[in-house]
Amino acid sequence: MLDQKLIEKLIETAIGMTKMSYAPYSNFKVGAAVRMADGRIFTGSNQENAAYSACLCAERVTLLYVCANAGDSHPVSIAIAAVQNGDFIENIITPCGECCQVLVEMEKRFSTKIKLYLIGRNEVKTLESASELLPYAFHL
C-alpha cells in the first residue's frame, strides 16, 4: 500500500503531464503517471493527430511505454488528470473503453490489480482495480 506522500506525488505528476499533451483538435489535455512495483514512475500524455484514428490516450501512451521499458517490474497504480480549455476539469476523468481494456489486460498479464486515482478539481476517486471500470472486459 502506498503512503499518502507517494500517492500525492503520483497525482501531482499526472497533473503536470497535462502540459505535455498535444491536443490541438479537442483541447482536452490528459496526463497519466504510473507507479511501478519497484517505485519508478512512468509518465505520458495524450497525443492527437488530424487522422483521428492515429491518436493515443495518455493512459495507453504511458502503459505501452511501461511494457517496452520497465523490465521485470509491473504497474501498481495509475493517476489520470485532465485540463480542458486551459482549466483543470471539475469532475473526475475516467479512461476510455480502449484504455480500460489495456488496463485490465495489464492486470491479467502481471497477475496483479492496478489501483486507479481518477482526478478532478473537486475530488480524487480511488478504484482498487481497472475491472471496476470494465467488469466485462474482453478475454481470450
| pLDDT tens for each residue of 89-115 | 999 999 999 999 999 999 999 999 999
Question: What are the residue numbers of the active site?
Answer: 59
Which triple of cell numbers denotes residue 136? 466485462
Instruction: List pLDDT tens digits, range 6-25.
Output: 999 999 999 999 999 999 99
How far apart (Å, rounded) are the C-alpha atoms in residues 120 and 131?
21
Q: Which of 47, 46, 23, 43 is nearest to 35 (CA)?
A: 43
| Mean pLDDT (the chain, rounded) | 93
Residue 1 has what pLDDT? 57
On the question of pLDDT at 2 being above 90, the answer is no
What is the pTM (predicted TM-score) of this model? 0.92
Contact 61, 118 (CB under 8 A): no
Contact 114, 72 (CB under 8 A): no
How far apart (Å, rounded) are the C-alpha atoms in residues 25 and 30?
13
Contact 46, 56 (CB under 8 A): yes
Q: Alpha helices, DSSP H only, in 1-133? A: 4-17, 58-69, 97-110
